[in-house]
Chain A
């Protein structure tokens, strides 16, 4: 079962979900893609929105701080870490020296990978087998 809170189309992920569940969410809207926004401080993410800005607004309303939020795309047909794509309009944030849709700071990308790796697992039964590629 998904450990989630749903708000319209947005799902807040605070506990591990499986790739299969992620795939179901992808199929609801974009086919092979799920948009997500990660809070690198709270180590949670909101997924499933139509726009990254919708998920960002959702997390801000939950108490997240703007500077901790980064937009990603998740491709559940791929394996970790390739399933994560750093490409979102909300990432353009010159105040944090990020001037593209990517996440330019390697350390932040690393944190995002860690969070996504811990929240998306290969199967529901075995969260410990988080989809980590050697």
Chain B
């Protein structure tokens, strides 16, 4: 059976969130992966990466954003490139965290 970290989110709750909330949550996992990488906690880092990708995939599958997929799938590609690839897009922990931070900010502001 496939591993699913966010069962209730995958079951539907994710699709009630705004895009900023979704990407802010993806960013939380990205931040955790970066923090675990810095502290050398390999398993924590891998788990956070997998959770980030799982959440990003939920966002990509959200039909509300079907007309906005270009940036979303590109964003996923950049993230996966940094996580597992050769960082061909020249990402850094700082610019990745900044990208997601502003969505988290906007989501909090909208509450």
Chain A: residues with CB nearer than 8 A to chain B?
A: 29-31, 33, 50-54, 56-57, 87, 89-90, 92, 99-102
Interface contact A31-B109, CB-CB below 8 Å = yes
Instruction: Answer whether A30 and B68 are a contact pair too, CB < 8 Å, given A90-B74, A99-B88.
Output: no
Residues of chain B within 8 A (CB-CB) of A100 are: 89-90
How far is B19's CA from A99's CA once the two chains are assembled, in angstroms?
26
Q: Which residues of A contact B90 (CB under 8 A)?
A: 99-102
| With A53-B71, A56-B70, A92-B89 already in contact, 12 other A-B pairs whose C-beta atoms are closer than 8 Å | A29-B106, A50-B19, A50-B106, A51-B72, A52-B71, A53-B68, A54-B71, A87-B95, A87-B98, A89-B71, A90-B71, A90-B74
Interface core residue of A29, A30, A33, A89 (most chain B CB under 10 Å)? A89
Residues of B within 8 A of A (CB): 19-20, 67-68, 70-72, 74-75, 78, 88-91, 95, 98-99, 102, 105-106, 109
Of the candidates B19, B74, B106, B109, the one having the most CB atoms from chain A within 10 angstroms of its own CB is: B74
Number of A-B residue pairs with CB-CB distance less than 8 Å in the complex they form: 51
- Chain A residues near B91: list those with CB within 8 A: 101
Q: How far does the Cβ of A111 sit from chain B's closest Cβ, in whole Å?
A: 22
| A50 pairs with B20, CB closer than 8 A | yes
Report the bound CA distance from A66 to B36 in whole Å: 39
Known: A30-B105, A99-B88, A102-B90. A89 touches B74 (CB 8 A): yes
Q: B89: which A residues are within 8 A, CB to CB? A: 92, 99-101
- Residues from chain B with Cβ under 8 Å of A52 in the complex: 71
- Taking the nearest CB of chain A, how far is it from the CB of B78, in angstroms? 7
Contact of A89 among B78, B88, B105 (CB under 8 A): B78
A54 cross-chain contacts in B, Cβ below 8 A:
68, 71
Given the contacts A31-B109, A100-B90, A51 and B71 also touching, CB distance less than 8 Å? yes
Complex contacts, B72 vs chain A, CB 8 Å: 51, 53
Contact B78–A101 (Cβ < 8 Å): yes
User: Considering only CB atoms, which chain B residue lies closest to A93 in the complex?
Assistant: B74
